């Protein structure tokens, strides 16, 4: 009976570690600079960069499009990436799905929702 409990406990432990490792891999796969393009907005807001970094075992980042805005409430889970930024124009909510070197999604604001696509840039 003890052996069955031990085996069950080991299976659970391995499963939990596998899920944690998979999520860490996905977050690590996001690290880098991504050039974005937003559709249906004025030209000065169309393009910029998303920069994701690893600091103190945590994924952090900022959006650079004219000015630099820190990502807040950044979450990465099974290819879904979400965060918000805030500046003088309001709060912007980003929601992406990652497929390889492409992020596709929506940026929501007080002005409406706009399609956004980002492509990973080569490392320098």
The burial of 26, by beta-carbon neighbours within 10 Å (0-12 exposed, 13-18 middle, 19 or more buried), is given as middle
Domain that holds residue 70: 2-120
CATH code at 113? 2.40.128.120
Number of domains in the chain: 1
pLDDT digits (tens, 9 = 90+) for 70-102: 999 999 999 999 999 999 889 999 999 999 999
Confidence of residue 22 (pLDDT cuts 50, 70, 90): very low
Pairing mode of beta strands 58-64, 47-55: antiparallel
pLDDT digits (tens, 9 = 90+) for 33-72: 999 999 989 898 899 999 999 999 899 999 998 889 999 9
Confidence of residue 4 (pLDDT cuts 50, 70, 90): low
Look at the block and give the residue holding tokens 């840039």.
121
């Amino acid at each position: 009976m003890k052996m069955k409990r031990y085996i069950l406990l080991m299976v659970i432990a391995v499963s939990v570690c596998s899920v944690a490792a998979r999520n860490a891999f996905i977050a690590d796969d996001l690290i880098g600079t991504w050039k974005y393009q937003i559709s249906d907005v004025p030209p000065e807001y169309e393009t910029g960069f998303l920069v994701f970094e690893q600091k103190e075992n945590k994924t952090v980042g900022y959006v650079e499009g004219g000015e630099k805005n820190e990502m807040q409430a950044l979450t990465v889970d099974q290819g879904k990436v979400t965060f918000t930024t805030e500046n003088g124009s309001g709060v912007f909510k980003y929601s992406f799905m990652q497929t390889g070197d492409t992020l596709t999604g929506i940026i929501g604001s007080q002005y409406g929702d706009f399609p956004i696509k980002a492509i990973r840039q080569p490392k320098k």
